[in-house]
């Protein structure tokens, strides 16, 4: 129970920082994934090896 109290106090003090960091990371992750998808689509259009459109659709 003591540990839970400590955790709650820590969250109260650092919750905002944690939330901001987490949102920032999620946003970066999403941007990276979108850019990656766009790059793969362009490679598929150019017909580069290893970029089968069917595989790309499955990998979304």
pLDDT score, position 59: 56
CA dihedral 4, 7, 9, 15 (to 10 degrees): -140
Predicted TM-score (pTM) of the model is 0.42
The domain locations on the chain are 2-59
pLDDT in tens, 9-20: 888 888 888 888
3-state secondary structure (DSSP) of residue 49: coil
Distance spanning both ends of the chain, measured CA to CA? 44
Neighbouring residues of 60: CB distance < 8 A, sequence distance ≥ 6: 37
| Distance between CA atoms of residues 34 and 31, nearest Å | 5
pLDDT score, position 48: 67
């Amino acid at each position: 129970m003591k540990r839970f109290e400590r955790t709650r106090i820590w969250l109260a003090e650092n919750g905002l920082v944690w939330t901001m960091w987490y949102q920032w990371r999620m946003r970066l992750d999403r941007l990276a994934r979108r850019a990656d998808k766009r790059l793969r689509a362009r490679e598929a259009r150019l017909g580069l090896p290893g970029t089968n459109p069917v595989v790309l659709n499955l990998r979304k």
